[in-house]
Amino acid sequence: IPFKQHRIAGSAIIPAVDYDLGRNGVAYFDRDTANYWVAGLPGVGNKGRIYRNDGVDIRLDSSEKESYYVSDFEKGEWLQFSVEVLKKGTYNIKLELASDTANSKFGLHLINKVVATKIEVPEKSKTGKWQVQQINNMALDAGQNVMRIYAEEGRFSFKSIRVLKIN
């Protein structure tokens, strides 16, 4: 279930914090989420305690007013985004990311198909705060598409997905 409606007409920016609505393992997977259904397993939940009340860690970006990002996105975790594409075509996808350590990597799946894997997330100390990693020439069909962003190695922060139609 989409948390917000993401329509892609030619270009769009999807905030990372606007991943789909649903429980852990359905709309997202977070390793240290709270479990309110089982006694004795309280977990941590959203470490930032802002914007959403599920298990994904969210923080306020102090460089922009009312701007949030996913923090502590670590190996094995993923976020799902349901997007409505208005015109079938080829798109470039840009992810805005930052890592505190070397060797963090992400992957992108489109409707359960691996599109990109083991893409490096730049270190903040070497690059400043946010850096863009681009995935070129991704085919998107018109209608509903489901993207999943996976944290494949390390731990990093994730700000947004930018989608741009190239043909």
42-53 pLDDT, tens digit per residue, is 566 777 778 998
| Distance in angstroms (rounded) separating the CA atoms of residues 98 and 130 | 5
Q: Looking at residue 118, which CATH number applies to its domain?
A: 2.60.120.260
* Residue 135, in any domain of the structure: yes
* Residue 161, in any domain of the structure: yes
Residue 135's pLDDT is 96
* Residue 88, in any domain of the structure: yes
* Residue 128, in any domain of the structure: yes
Residue 126's pLDDT is 64
Which residue range forms the structural domain that includes residue 140? 7-29+72-165
* Residue 124, in any domain of the structure: yes
Residue 147's pLDDT is 97
If one compares 65 and 42, the residue with the highest pLDDT of the two is 65
Into how many domains does the chain fold? 1
* Residue 46, in any domain of the structure: no
| Distance in angstroms (rounded) separating the CA atoms of residues 12 and 67 | 16
What is the average pLDDT score of the chain? 90
pLDDT tens digits, one per residue of 85-131: 999 999 999 999 999 888 999 999 998 799 999 999 988 866 668 99
Percent of the chain with pLDDT over 70: 91
Residue 11's pLDDT is 94
| Distance in angstroms (rounded) separating the CA atoms of residues 138 and 166 | 10
* Residue 12, in any domain of the structure: yes
**Would the pLDDT of 16 be above 90?**
yes
For the stretch 129-143, what's the b/e string if a residue is b when 16 or more beta carbons lie within 10 angstroms of its beta carbon?
ebbebebeebebeee
pLDDT tens digits, one per residue of 119-142: 999 888 666 689 999 999 999 999
Contacts 24+ apart (CB under 8 A), 40-47: 47/71, 47/72
* Residue 119, in any domain of the structure: yes
Average pLDDT, integer, range 19-31: 95
Residue 66's pLDDT band (cuts 50, 70, 90)? confident
**Would the pLDDT of 12 be above 80?**
yes
